[in-house]
Structure 1
Amino acid sequence: MPTGPSSSPLLDRAARAAIARRRAVAAVLAAVTAIAVAGALRVEADFTPDDLFTGLDDQRAASAAFQAAFGNTDNVALVLVEAADALAPPVLQYVHDATRSLGARPWAAHAASVTTVPAVQRIGPPSGPASAASLLADLAAGRLRIAPPVDGAAVDAAAAARVRAAVAANRLLEGRLVSRDRRLAVVAVTLAAGVSRNDAIERAVEDMEAWVAAHSPPAGVRVRLGGLPVLRVGLIRKMKADQVTLFPATFAVCLLILLATFRWLPALLLPPVAVGLSALTLVGAMGWLGVRLDIINNIVPMLIIVIGLSDSIHIVTRYGERAAAGADSPTAATDALRSMAVACFLTSFTTAVGFASLAVSDMPILRRFGLLAAFGVLAAYAITVAFVPIALASVRPPRQPIADHEHGRIEHALDAVLRRVRRRRIAVLAVAAAVLAAAAAAASTLTIDTFVADQYEPDDPAYATLQLVERELLGVRPIEVSIAAPPGTFDRRDALAALERIAQWAAAQPGVLDATGYPALVRETWVQLTGDPAARSGPLPDAGALRALGAALDAAGAARAFVTPDRARARLTVSMRDVGGRALLRFAAALRARAEAELASLPGVRVDLAGEGYVSSLGLDTVTSDLVESLVLATAIIFAVLAGLFRSVRLGLVSLPPNVLPLALTLGYMRLRGIPLNTATAIIFAITIGLAVDGTIHILARYVDEQRSGADRDSALAAAMRGTGKAVVASYLSLVVGFSILQLSEFVPVQQFGELVAVTIAGCLVSTLVVLPALLASSPRRSASRAV
């Protein structure tokens, strides 16, 4: 048989030694497996989405300063109480009970609702004719107070009336704790500072769910949970459910593909054992190294199972070819190992390069994913080439050929495809170029963005809750404007006027639901004190009134949400629709510029942005940019490796079109399907560039082998397609079907990831079997004879 780039004297000796000492190799594999099992038992999981953004050091510092001043305003779980009249006494009693009970939990910092938010109440006769001075005097003397409308545990008719009056007088409650149509009331539970990791958040949400289940609402009232903590716990649960569903389904699909390809029991069992050991080794290494399963890398073990199957298929195919020629099992296994070790290493290496290219990312979680997957792919290669050949050497050869290159249906189909491609190679290349141009044109109009709703199916209850919160309240994507200044700044009338102008400008922008801050609190409190709605416009109260009013709001705990007690830091909250990450970032840049311009006359002012909407959009935008860099890097490395291996820049260039074309087709497919390019979808291109080239490597390696053995171009191409094509078809089909299994996921980004990888690999299969032969058939007849 040929002995080109797939073999060398050193490799020949190593292959013979491995097969001759297969018991020793098996003992080493058993030891590795035992160590892996021990490590796997140590693995922990942490699916906290915040890990996506831990690489943004400057933003982390700004967010930390904001949270130190105002708490983690993103970590708020909502109890949504829907009723025909959310302010009816029975409904308010339910809301009040939930507020008091959940707010007292050890995992809660505090809870707020319309029954507990401080409001202005008169409890004594006025000191004189209504005026700003008399109102402030009454406030100081206790004849007016700022306190919750409900005292104690019971909501009687009088308390319900006070709640209605407070809601009518205070516009800040609308959209936050009650809807404008008064059909939705909210209990907002802010989680404690230490409740930040997924396990702690999940326990808090479970406690809330238990409370809701144990306390039946009044008749006709519907209760559900919302807010970012609840949404995140829902995603975590979906990921955990995926672990239970996807692994068995993946193994089942692998078995079916192997059964359809080989119809021989050892070929059916050995590859799944090899990839299973590979996945176990990966998880064991994670355990020993202290690497947790996170929101991204939790799918890596399944990826290794799907990707690692390819090497086993090629080794078993080559073994079957030698066994059909009359070789005994040890000889056939030795020849399979010797002939496939280099080609399989190259395919594994290029796949690992695709993953490892993610190391250029600024995001630690993405770097971990890339490096972990790269290690897993190389570990799968090492285990496969060690385990499968020694196992094959220990079994009887199949009675019927498993690699009949003369009479197999797949081989006949490949021969027919090759004959047509050779006759019409110019037309094939022209069509490929036209398809590439059309796909590129479609891809140029592709949406590049990230939406919260993209993570959910339309029939998912979480999607309905998102729509409810955005429609009736103020959405889930706030931008927080954090403004630091010297102490006392935000007692000044000019400073508050500047904050108010910023909020008014922001509220008028497209996609903004609301913008509010301390000036709005001052005005709404002043409206309640004076009973004059006109106080919502016009000049703010004078400096003395502002200080007195601020002291009263501080005493009631009402000001703390918007300004620090020393008036050195203020907060503006801009609530956004789910307009997409790109639009949000454009608005955020304009908002920062506007805030800095309005505050320029104040000394020592610093403006920062925080909030889930801004931070997540910034992080995901950074990730998308990182993935473009990693794709370029991976493509360059893979080209250099192939050109070096074959000692031919031309063959290196020949390998690019069959693998670039499927990527362009996938972009066009995304445009037709309306799938945006975001983190979950962009990551596939850095990954699949390594997977896509696998078939090209195997066919080129066999093509070079045949030419070195004296075959001319056409004979070498026919032998390569006949000898390697079936394994390429089986490998690519296993990848397509294996990644299609991700459609069973309950997590939409994972579904899209699986769909797009499957589409890309299907394009690779067609491109490798049609475009690559057309390119080779157009080359000089002895072009590869000097390649190593």
Structure 2
Amino acid sequence: MTVDYQRFIDVADDWITGRPGTVVLAFFVVTAVFAAGLPAVSTDSGTESFAEDVPEEEALQDVNEKFSAPFEPDEGSTQLIQRGENVLSKRGLLRMLTVQERLADDPDMRVVATESAARQVARQLDPGAETLESERDAVERATTGEIRTAVRTLARENPRFTALLSDDFNPTAASASATIGIVTHEVPAGLDTGTGQGSASPLESIQIEARYVADAAGGDIVVFGSGITAVEFGTVISDSLLIVVPAAVVLIALFLIVAYRDLVDLLLGLTGLSMTIVWTFGFMGFAGIAFSQILIAVPPLLLAVGIDFGIHAINRYREERLTEDDPVRAMRTTTDQLLVAFFIVTTTTVIGFSSNLVSDLPPIREFGVVAAIGIAFTFLVFGVFLPSLKLYTDGLRERYPIPTFSQTPIGSEGSTLGSGLSLGVFVARRLPVAFLLISVVAAGGAGYYAAGIDTTFSQEQFLPPEETADFYDALPEPFEPSEYTITATINFLEDNFESSEDDEVVVYVEAPMERNTALESIYRAGENPPDTFVRDGRHARETSIVTVILAYQERDPRFDALVARNDRNANGIPDRNLGEVYDYLFASPARDRALDYLTEDRRSARVVYSVKGDESDAAITADARTVADRYRMGATATGGIVVFEAISAIIFDSAILSLGLALAGTAVFLLFVYWVLEGQASLGLANLVPIVVTVAFVGGSMRYLGFSLNAFTATVLAMTIGLGIDYSVHLTHRYIDERRLQPTTLDALTRSVYGTGGALLGSVLTTVFGIGVLVLSVFPAIGDFGLLTALSVIYAFLSSLLVLPSALVVWERIFGEGSESVAVPARTNEDI
């Protein structure tokens, strides 16, 4: 049984071959509409968007909003990183003070406070100095000996002073190679306080201007902050696109020259590619989808798939013209066959990309949406527009002296190329069952090995390289990438300054904190801590409202007595009348410290635990969640380490779920579509065998080559199905047509490989190089994505040529004999 789908194909054929000029004009009008959406496309870079909707990140946002932070909620900070000289020399101190003074005097900087080691030295020299100008005067008047004395005194008495200096600080010599100055700005619009980096902030214009101020003061003072980060993240996206897209176009154009060998056909293909990109970007603008790092992969992806479709369309049309003089009838036969194949390929590809919609990470979902919509646009452009434009221009060739070069198809029967691609048929002729079993067993082994792939997520994956490759220097403007300071600055800070930012986790408590057991629960959760936690005896090293209470007891005898009266088990932790205890504490000098760990409404608390920096993020996160589970009230483990580990887990889960859905969705669709087309649903199983082999080997190769599943490569496995199914569908669909015309299965396979293999080879080369060009991206992670995607395409091509013939022979032996798919007579041109 088959379903009569031909009437739908006939409608499309009528428009493509009967009204090509109208179709071309309509597509150009739609292109103009989508072009109107291009200006609305914005950029969204960094890790912040990946953290959206992650429970641990939401908890961290709540912590940052509810508890006191180093700066007020309407303030932001700029770091002035001074290096390259002894920053504690008179000249070094004056340079820092000069920059801070110039920033403070500029109303556009909105400076509300400044701090630096230079200011502390100046105030030590002249306790009466209260302004930056007077502090600069104090340093200018001081002798070298007085400055050294001031530095040594501060080193003994002020821990904050040494915290602002690099690790090589020598108090005896009064020298340090680097220091950090802090400038606080009033930013009424507020700042994001999550774990992410790279999102735009109101500090952009302030910190860009601060760069000019620092440069004008001389010395090596680097301006660093969230505004600078946002600017450079946006710049690296545009730089990557400016390098990758033209490179992809040039490479694809070169392959088109070889594949088409005709100038007009080359221009037709490039027109279709341009139209696809404009439609996709215009859709993003209208849909409000910002362009993120992961979306850098979409343009080369669409270019590669689009040219694949284009090669198949032009090559198939040229094949028909070898035996058909009428171009309209030749194009009608071409579209009659290819529209079905393109529809199957497009649907399975869309299923592969759309499977990313199940991800809990918004950027991966957006990638799935944009890629799926782009592939649908590619189908319309190359399945309808390109054939119409080809037919229209061929009509113009007959009326005008338009140069025409080669119009012969690639990989025609009898060619050396066609013979070289028929190895799979040779194997299928002799050992189809044995080879198929070997392929399946090998794929199973590769899949089992792939189960050990690591999953990672970190800020470093989103950072531009500290130093760009030398070949970028050879690029002319505007293709030469900008200079990036983010990574170098971060590495410098990590290498030269002590920081405990990555050595702590937070437990966020949401419960009535006046409940008698509240403080006891917090304290007991830290007893006998897990191995990754830093210990103070048998208790975890923590800071919380409990430690604030214990510390203030030593300073205030009345408070100590109050706590003792309300400590029923005499362990030093009050366990009744907690409201009275909090009232006293909030009315004392310890109020600000207490508000760091307990909200004023007494309904939320945070507990900060120190953890061992040499432990893995996975182990720390697991132990943090274990401790959070000990609380007798609602508690969530959070902090930068926990959030990133949670995102890593989501990436892994998303990759596996997307892969499963893509495989299942593709299998169901292939079973359905071959039941509709041929009355043989089981043909979909044969069609699916090469892609299963491909996915298994891609996963195994990822682990063997040392690639991990991250925010970028997590989509590769599902994408492999979407891209790789192309080759097996084209070959299977051609086999169906040839099976009606050839006397035996092997003859049909041979003719299919000869007729389609050349186009498949041409498309695989353009796809591999079109997507592989992503290795030129200044984002290393995007380069890995391009390399793996190109590898998956190569595997899919080889599996289709080597494994699919044996799968089809075995399918014929089990299901094909006597079936309607074999018995259906060939359609003649008069029937179409």
TM-score grouping bracket, smaller chain normalisation: 0.7 to 0.9
Is 1:722 paired with 2:754?
Answer: yes
Indicate the residue corresponding to 2:390 in structure 1: 392
Give me the whole-angstrom Cα distance separating, in 2, the residues matched to 1:664 and 1:175. 51
Indicate the residue corresponding to 2:252 in structure 1: 254
Give me the whole-angstrom Cα distance separating, in 2, the residues matched to 1:392 and 1:292. 35
CA contact (8 A) 1:439 1:668 kept: yes
What is the CA-CA distance between 1:65 and the residue it aligns to?
A: 4.6
What is the CA-CA distance between 1:632 and the residue it aligns to?
A: 0.8
What is the CA-CA distance between 1:57 and the residue it aligns to?
A: 5.8
Does the C-alpha gap of structure 1 residues 99 and 483 become closer, same or farther in structure 2, counting only changes over 3 Å?
farther
Indicate the residue corresponding to 1:134 in structure 2: none
What is the CA-CA distance between 1:56 and the residue it aligns to?
A: 2.7
CA contact (8 A) 1:736 1:761 kept: yes
Indicate the residue corresponding to 1:186 in structure 2: 180
Is 1:473 paired with 2:461?
Answer: no
What is the CA-CA distance between 1:657 and the residue it aligns to?
A: 2.8
Give me the whole-angstrom Cα distance separating, in 2, the residues matched to 1:407 and 1:6. 35
Indicate the residue corresponding to 1:214 in structure 2: 216
Does the C-alpha gap of structure 1 residues 595 and 315 become closer, same or farther in structure 2, counting only changes over 3 Å?
closer
Indicate the residue corresponding to 1:705 in structure 2: 737
Find the residue that maps to 1:646 and give its secondary structure.
Answer: helix
Amino acid of the structure 1 residue aligned with 2:412? H
What is the CA-CA distance between 1:694 and the residue it aligns to?
A: 0.6
What is the CA-CA distance between 1:358 and the residue it aligns to?
A: 1.5
Indicate the residue corresponding to 1:296 in structure 2: 294
Find the residue that maps to 2:709 and give its secondary structure.
Answer: coil
Task: Please point out which of 315, 318, 321 is paired with 1:317.
Answer: 315
What is the CA-CA distance between 1:764 and the residue it aligns to?
A: 0.8
TM-score, structure 1 normalization: 0.80
Does the C-alpha gap of structure 1 residues 494 and 289 become closer, same or farther in structure 2, counting only changes over 3 Å?
closer
Give me the whole-angstrom Cα distance separating, in 2, the residues matched to 1:92 and 1:607. 46
CA contact (8 A) 1:466 1:475 kept: no
1:461-610 alignment runs, 5 A limit: 462-471=486-495, 472-474=497-499, 477=502, 479-482=505-508, 508=534, 551-552=588-589, 583-594=616-627, 597=630, 607-610=635-638
Task: Please point out which of 445, 449, 453 is paired with 2:456.
Answer: 449
Higher mean C-alpha displacement, 730-739 vs 465-474: 465-474
What is the CA-CA distance between 1:376 and the residue it aligns to?
A: 1.3
Give me the whole-angstrom Cα distance separating, in 2, the residues matched to 1:672 and 1:282. 35
Give me the whole-angstrom Cα distance separating, in 1, the residues matched to 2:512 and 2:117. 34
Give me the whole-angstrom Cα distance separating, in 2, the residues matched to 1:496 and 1:414. 69
Indicate the residue corresponding to 2:659 in structure 1: 631
Higher mean C-alpha displacement, 613-622 vs 334-343: 613-622
Amino acid of the structure 2 residue aligned with 1:18? I
Amino acid of the structure 2 residue aligned with 1:247? V
Is 1:419 paired with 2:426?
Answer: yes
Does the C-alpha gap of structure 1 residues 216 and 609 become closer, same or farther in structure 2, counting only changes over 3 Å?
farther
What is the CA-CA distance between 1:85 and the residue it aligns to?
A: 5.0
Give me the whole-angstrom Cα distance separating, in 2, the residues matched to 1:163 and 1:522. 34
Is 1:615 paired with 2:643?
Answer: yes
Find the residue that maps to 2:422 and give its secondary structure.
Answer: helix
Give me the whole-angstrom Cα distance separating, in 1, the residues matched to 2:522 and 2:665. 56
Amino acid of the structure 1 residue aligned with 2:417? I
Indicate the residue corresponding to 1:786 in structure 2: 820
CA offsets 1:7-38 (integer angstroms, 9 cap, x no match): 82442353134211112112211211111222
Amino acid of the structure 1 residue aligned with 2:778? E
Give me the whole-angstrom Cα distance separating, in 2, the residues matched to 1:540 and 1:164. 39
What is the CA-CA distance between 1:594 and the residue it aligns to?
A: 3.2
CA offsets 1:609-643 (integer angstroms, 9 cap, x no match): 44444334323432331232121111111111111
Amino acid of the structure 1 residue aligned with 2:534? A
Give me the whole-angstrom Cα distance separating, in 1, the residues matched to 2:664 and 2:159. 58
CA contact (8 A) 2:316 2:409 kept: no
Does the C-alpha gap of structure 1 residues 107 and 587 become closer, same or farther in structure 2, counting only changes over 3 Å?
farther
Find the residue that maps to 2:180 and give its secondary structure.
Answer: strand
TM-score, structure 2 normalization: 0.76
- What is the number of equivalent residue pairs in this alignment? 738
Find the residue that maps to 1:362 and give its secondary structure.
Answer: coil
CA contact (8 A) 2:443 2:693 kept: yes
Is 1:669 paired with 2:694?
Answer: no
Give me the whole-angstrom Cα distance separating, in 2, the residues matched to 1:520 and 1:155. 40
Indicate the residue corresponding to 2:559 in structure 1: none
Give me the whole-angstrom Cα distance separating, in 1, the residues matched to 2:527 and 2:209. 42
CA offsets 1:173-223 (integer angstroms, 9 cap, x no match): 666665374643223456746244426454344234333322223xxxx54
Does the C-alpha gap of structure 1 residues 507 and 23 become closer, same or farther in structure 2, counting only changes over 3 Å?
same
CA contact (8 A) 1:483 1:607 kept: yes
CA offsets 1:265-312 (integer angstroms, 9 cap, x no match): 233221221121011012222223333323433443332222222111
What is the CA-CA distance between 1:354 and the residue it aligns to?
A: 1.0
What is the CA-CA distance between 1:706 and the residue it aligns to?
A: 1.9
Find the residue that maps to 2:290 and give its secondary structure.
Answer: coil
Give me the whole-angstrom Cα distance separating, in 2, the residues matched to 1:657 and 1:173. 66
RMSD between aligned residues: 4.7
Does the C-alpha gap of structure 1 residues 64 and 24 become closer, same or farther in structure 2, counting only changes over 3 Å?
same
Higher mean C-alpha displacement, 462-471 vs 734-743: 462-471
What is the CA-CA distance between 1:317 and the residue it aligns to?
A: 1.0
Indicate the residue corresponding to 2:791 in structure 1: 759
What is the CA-CA distance between 1:451 and the residue it aligns to?
A: 3.7
What is the CA-CA distance between 1:77 and the residue it aligns to?
A: 5.1
Identity over the aligned pairs, expressed in percent? 22
Is 1:429 paired with 2:410?
Answer: no
Give me the whole-angstrom Cα distance separating, in 1, the residues matched to 2:322 and 2:162. 79
Task: Please point out which of 409, 415, 419 is paired with 2:416.
Answer: 409
Find the residue that maps to 1:474 and give its secondary structure.
Answer: coil
Does the C-alpha gap of structure 1 residues 548 and 644 become closer, same or farther in structure 2, counting only changes over 3 Å?
closer
